[in-house]
Structure 1
Amino acid sequence: MGTMTLLLTEAAVALPNPAPIQPPGTEGFTSIMGWVKWLALAVCIVGLMVAGALMAIQSRRGEGGEHAGKIGMALGGVIVISAAGSLVGFLMTA
């Protein structure tokens, strides 16, 4: 097992790890990704507003706490959307 580990470690060290470079002519794709991110965050904001409004309306009936999960899901979506580029970059280097 020690020999196999040593061979795999040496092979991993010998592999090049070039930095990612955006290919020429793909600037439009970058713009589209920015628009999609903006749109996704806008949907999350609307979702938070709707969940808050439903919570306020239904609190008079004693049902306001049921929407806390919706708010948590919307906030989780905001975190994932905002960190999408960093998460992918982290997974690529790991």
Structure 2
Amino acid sequence: MSLYDLVTASADSLHHHTVTLADVPDPKGGEKPPFADKFLTILKWAAWTVSGACVAGVLGVAGKMALSHRNGEGGEHAKGLAMVMGACVLAGTASGIVGALI
């Protein structure tokens, strides 16, 4: 699999990933405050923004890699790609991590 295929597959999966908060942990019988629906809307906006930032990060690293390759430089951008992919994993599993800790 080429780097282009990897970036395209990552961008497609983030693009088609539906941001839902159905997995938000239940506070074990606590009563929902009156502003909970608005707060969930803000969380959904944040999740959408982070997903977009992840796609932009992958595209940014890919652009740097393409320019470096054109200039004959090596692949120093693997660390940047690893950081962006780590951010993607954290963003995708955020509610699961919180659910495991509560």
Query: TM-score w.r.t. structure 1 length?
Result: 0.71
- Judging by fraction of residues, say which structure has more helix: 1
Name the aligned partner's letter for residue 74 of structure 1. V
In structure 2, C-alpha distance between the alignment counterparts of 1:77 and 1:42, rounded to whole Å: 12
Q: Which runs of 5+ in 1 are unaligned?
A: 1-16
Q: Which runs of 5+ in 2 are unaligned?
A: 1-26
Is 1:86 the counterpart of 2:99? The answer is no
Task: Map Cα deviations across residues 42-93 of structure 1 (whole Å, 9 max, x no partner).
Answer: 111101101001101111333241111111111110110111111011011x
- 1:27 aligns with one of 13, 16, 37: 37
Cα pair distance change 1:40/1:64, threshold 3 Å: farther
What residue is the counterpart of 1:60 in the other structure?
A: 70
Rg bigger for which structure?
A: 1
In structure 1, C-alpha distance between the alignment counterparts of 2:81 and 2:30, rounded to whole Å: 36
Count of equivalent residues: 76
Query: TM-score w.r.t. structure 2 length?
Result: 0.66
Higher RCO, 1 or 2 (CA under 8 Å, sep at least 6)? 2
Alpha-carbon distance, 1:19 to partner? 4.5
The percent identity for this pair of structures is: 32
Which ranges of 4 or more aligned residues in structure 1 deviate by more than 6 Å? none
Alpha-carbon distance, 1:33 to partner? 0.3
Q: CA RMSD in A?
A: 1.9
In structure 1, C-alpha distance between the alignment counterparts of 2:30 and 2:69, rounded to whole Å: 51
**Any conservation in 2 of the 1:54–1:67 contact (CA below 8 Å)?**
yes
